[in-house]
Amino acid sequence: MTQKYIHTGRLNDLFMRFLQWRERHISERTFVIFLALFVGIFAGLAAQVLKYLIHTISHLLTSHVDLHNGNYLYILLPTLGVVITALFVRFVVKDNISHGVTRVLWSISQNKSRLKRHNTYTSLIASSITIGFGGSVGAEGPIVHTGAAIGSNLGSAFRMSPRILMILVGCGAAAGIAGIFKAPIAGMLFTIEVLMIDLSTVSIMPLLISAITSATIAYAYTGYTFEFFFVQSDSFAVAKIPPVIALGIVAGLVSLYFTRVMNMMENFFSRFKHRWIRTAIGCLILSGLVFLFPPLYGEGYSSIMDLLAGDTSAIVNGSIFYGDRGSVWFIIAFILAIILTKAFATSATNGAGGVGGTFAPSLYVGCMTGFLFAYVFNMLGFSIDLSLKNFALIGMAGVMSGVMHAPLMAIFLTAELTGGYDLFLPLLIVSTIAYGTIKVFEPYSIYTMRLAKQGKLLTHEKDRAVLTLLKMDSVIETDFLSVRPEMTLKEMVDVIAKSSRNLFPVLNGAGILLGVVQLDDIRNIMFRPDLYRKMNVASFMTSPPDKIIIGEHMDAVMKKFDTTGAWNLPVVDNKGHYFGFISKSKIFNSYRRVLRHYCDD
């Protein structure tokens, strides 16, 4: 044991010497490039491990499933996977690892871009079980969480500053998307549009290197092929632009429906305080939906590939409705039901205790939406005939753009996934219109709305971003001497003599703020001894122009300063207990410090 400690001590000493050598000989910007390369390698390997585990588990469980009729394994398997995941999270991880992308956003804005060490592998394990057993979620959220944790922990190991950690977190997220989809451009755009990391002279090279490295690893493992096989059999014509515009509006409304259902179901599950009741209810919903609509099983990529290949009837394989596969109206009803129920299946998977993301579900719903739009359009007998495959592809970009609020990422991801670069114009049109449509109703994406409601979202707007990074604890000043309302003017003068401030909070015995005394307000009476015993604090104290509630977002705090014109405002809790004061000068000093620290190129 003693030798082990000596060996560990020597390693730590060598590592510290290396850090000192690096600081003397390698600039921070250059060293970040090397770290980004390793983040890309590790995140790329993690993406391949995750895909391998999901496909292996799924193949072992479903290789003997009968596709010609309803199979009751669709009831058992998703439930079993969610329960195993819930047990793993509860007794092994002992931490909440759901909503991976939202947790990455929270760590950037509220925890100096630091993620826990176990996040480098726990989301990967949990999501592979959830999805491999048929949970109706995607692997992209967990791989973003994993990649971001790899970047954060690697940067922390080398004592990088929070500003560099933020870039490395973005590198890990970009590498995760690039590795799982073979889409380096989409990975980089994800960090800009979803994680809202600024594209600057410092960040652009690390992000590119991580994304390209991860995508290269993916191509090395699986070959230089696109994730979804797609051959454009019908060239796009200008005459088809009106239907494309209409699809953009439909995709925007579908993405709004998807977002609202996800939020509604999340609120529904939050009402159940006992975790195993949530698990039971979620498993019932998930298993029932997957049994009725087998395409909801797992990520659903096989259904996407069927539609992109033009195989319409394959959509009902494995369902109890297999015999109706030739009915046109049944196909329409079946696909519409899948579009409407996918959000319920996804939220039930996560609500029950599974671990997965909404990335793949939005792609899936978009593919179904585009396909159904073209299918119905052609049935109505218009003079223009729409390609079902093309519109299924275009719909993927539309719904993803709306759900993620990331039109550029949706365009490039769809093109990189399928090689559908010849459809770049309709992809641009649909993504832009879908994004514009949902923005009318929802200002934030499905990932950011939770943090935005709490005022903890980091955005590209520099002022608001810096205020988000500011913590109230760091700007509260507590060196104000307090007085009581029954104190006489003489006692008040004695307190003034001991204080270096010109503002005094008035508190009762329970620490409740009753008012304030400003030195300027009593300057004309404080030198009159004849009033020392006649007046007390209650007679000349005043109410503060406003109060700041502890924990309030700094953006709201600044609005109170702007509205009142005050230079100092008291901080209290919801019951009125006094904590201190916040001054404009303290905020401005902290603002300049954070701005230099995080936003220096």
- Burial status of residue 383 (CB atoms within 10 A of its CB: 0-12, 13-18, 19 or more): exposed
pLDDT digits (tens, 9 = 90+) for 571-589: 999 888 999 998 877 776 6
Q: Would you state the pLDDT for residue 456?
A: 58
Q: DSSP assignment, residue 238?
A: G
In 3-state terms, what secondary structure has residue 533? coil
Banded pLDDT at 305 (limits 50, 70, 90): confident
Q: Which residues contact 554 (CB under 8 A, 6 or more apart)?
A: 455, 467, 468, 470, 472, 475, 587
∠ Cα 264 265 266 (to 5°): 95
Is there a single domain that holds both residue 372 and residue 471? no
Question: Locate tokens 């588990």: which residue?
Answer: 57
Is there a single domain that holds both residue 31 and residue 140? yes
Is there a single domain that holds both residue 43 and residue 94? yes
Last residue within a domain, chosen from 193, 222, 251: 222
CB atoms inside a 10 Å sphere around CB 79: 22
Is there a single domain that holds both residue 87 and residue 159? yes
Domain that holds residue 43: 2-222
Q: Which residues contact 214 (CB under 8 A, 6 or more apart)?
A: 40, 41, 43, 44, 47, 147, 174, 175, 176, 178, 179, 184, 187
Query: Does residue 501 lie within any of the structural domains?
Result: yes
Banded pLDDT at 591 (limits 50, 70, 90): low
Q: Would you state the pLDDT for residue 293?
A: 86
Query: Does residue 210 lie within any of the structural domains?
Result: yes
Is there a single domain that holds both residue 129 and residue 194? yes
Q: How far apart are CA 448 and CA 95, in angstroms?
A: 21
The tally of domains found in the chain comes to 3
Q: Would you state the pLDDT for residue 388?
A: 87
Between 42-51, 516-525, 590-599, the lowest mean confidence (pLDDT) is in 590-599
* Dihedral, CA of residue 209, residue 210, residue 213 and residue 214, to nearest 10: -160
Query: Does residue 586 lie within any of the structural domains?
Result: yes
Q: Which residues contact 588 (CB under 8 A, 6 or more apart)?
A: none
Percentage above 90 pLDDT, the chain: 41
Is there a single domain that holds both residue 406 and residue 434? yes
Contact 50, 124 (CB under 8 A): yes
Query: Does residue 232 lie within any of the structural domains?
Result: no
Q: Which residues lie across from 477 on neighbouring strands? A: 581
Average pLDDT, the chain: 85
Is there a single domain that holds both residue 11 and residue 131? yes
Give the CATH number, domain containing residue 431.
1.10.3080.10
Is there a single domain that holds both residue 430 and residue 516? no
In 3-state terms, what secondary structure has residue 66? coil
Query: Does residue 228 lie within any of the structural domains?
Result: no
What is the phi-psi region of residue 274: left when phi exceeds 0, alpha when psi lies from -120 to 50, beta otherwise?
beta
Q: Would you state the pLDDT for residue 323?
A: 52
Contact 25, 103 (CB under 8 A): no
Q: Which residues contact 6 (CB under 8 A, 6 or more apart)?
A: none
Banded pLDDT at 363 (limits 50, 70, 90): very high
What is the phi-psi region of residue 309: left when phi exceeds 0, alpha when psi lies from -120 to 50, beta otherwise?
alpha
Query: Does residue 338 lie within any of the structural domains?
Result: yes
Query: Does residue 231 lie within any of the structural domains?
Result: no
For range 72-100, the mean pLDDT:
89
- For residue 18, pLDDT beyond 90: no
pLDDT digits (tens, 9 = 90+) for 73-82: 778 889 999 9
- For residue 317, pLDDT beyond 80: no
pLDDT digits (tens, 9 = 90+) for 399-434: 999 999 999 999 999 888 888 778 889 999 999 999
Q: How far apart are CA 48 and CA 225, in angstroms?
A: 15
- For residue 325, pLDDT beyond 80: no
Q: Would you state the pLDDT for residue 339?
A: 94
HSE, CB side, 13 Å, CA atoms: give it for residue 174. 33
Q: Would you state the pLDDT for residue 383?
A: 78
Is there a single domain that holds both residue 160 and residue 289? no
Q: Which residues lie across from 516 on neighbouring strands? A: 505, 542
Query: Does residue 381 lie within any of the structural domains?
Result: yes
CB atoms inside a 10 Å sphere around CB 6: 10
Give the CATH number, domain containing residue 556.
3.10.580.10
What is the phi-psi region of residue 551: left when phi exceeds 0, alpha when psi lies from -120 to 50, beta otherwise?
left
Q: How many helices and strands, by DSSP H and E, does the chain display? A: 24, 6
Q: Would you state the pLDDT for residue 468?
A: 57
Is there a single domain that holds both residue 91 and residue 190? yes
Q: How far apart are CA 298 and CA 99, in angstroms?
A: 17
For range 165-184, the mean pLDDT:
93
Cα-only R_g, the chain: 29
Q: DSSP letters along 479-505, please? A: -PPPB-TT-BHHHHHHHHHH-S-SEEE
Is there a single domain that holds both residue 193 and residue 253? no
Tokens of residue 529, six digits: 């001894």
Q: Would you state the pLDDT for residue 595?
A: 55
- Burial status of residue 600 (CB atoms within 10 A of its CB: 0-12, 13-18, 19 or more): exposed
Contact 405, 444 (CB under 8 A): yes
Which amino acid, 369?
T
In 3-state terms, what secondary structure has residue 517? strand
Banded pLDDT at 302 (limits 50, 70, 90): confident
- For residue 150, pLDDT beyond 80: yes
Last residue within a domain, chosen from 459, 492, 513: 459
Contact 131, 298 (CB under 8 A): yes
Q: How far apart are CA 101 and CA 358, in angstroms?
A: 10
pLDDT digits (tens, 9 = 90+) for 473-527: 677 888 889 999 999 888 888 888 888 888 899 999 889 999 999 888 788 887 7
Banded pLDDT at 594 (limits 50, 70, 90): low
For range 26-48, the mean pLDDT:
92
Is there a single domain that holds both residue 206 and residue 295? no
Q: How far apart are CA 145 and CA 116, in angstroms?
A: 10
Q: Would you state the pLDDT for residue 251?
A: 96
CB atoms inside a 10 Å sphere around CB 443: 11
pLDDT digits (tens, 9 = 90+) for 369-386: 999 999 999 988 887 888
Contact 77, 287 (CB under 8 A): no
- Burial status of residue 433 (CB atoms within 10 A of its CB: 0-12, 13-18, 19 or more): buried
Last residue within a domain, chosen from 459, 479, 509: 459
Who wins on pLDDT, 309 or 518?
A: 518
Q: How far apart are CA 578 and CA 599, in angstroms?
A: 34
